[in-house]
Amino acid sequence: MEKTIYEKLLELGIKENEIDTHCSDIYVLKNEISDSFVNDYPFKNIVTIFRSELDNKRYYEIPFAYEEYYNKR
């Protein structure tokens, strides 16, 4: 079975505290690792960047990428 996007990000070196989810979306801290991932992501045209009000850091929002959301439903 192919790894989920969440698992791939962790495998690439994203720390668990640098990734979060909301419903079906994945939020991941913008850094060299996530930049590389998003650059190669086949649906990068729907990925957006936002600045968190909690820590003032920039994050990628990868919509519809958190597969566990769909598995729980």
Q: Is a pLDDT exceeding 80 seen at residue 52?
A: yes
Task: Give 1 or 26, the one with higher predicted confidence.
Answer: 26
The pLDDT value recorded for residue 72 is 67
In this structure, what token pair is assigned to residue 8?
Answer: 């791939």
Mind listing the pLDDT tens digit for each residue in 4-51?
A: 999 999 999 999 999 999 999 999 999 999 999 999 999 999 999 999
pTM for the model stands at 0.90
Cα distances (angstroms) measured from residue 41 to each of 4, 50, 65, 68, 72: 13, 18, 11, 19, 24
**Domain chopping of the chain, boundaries:** 5-72
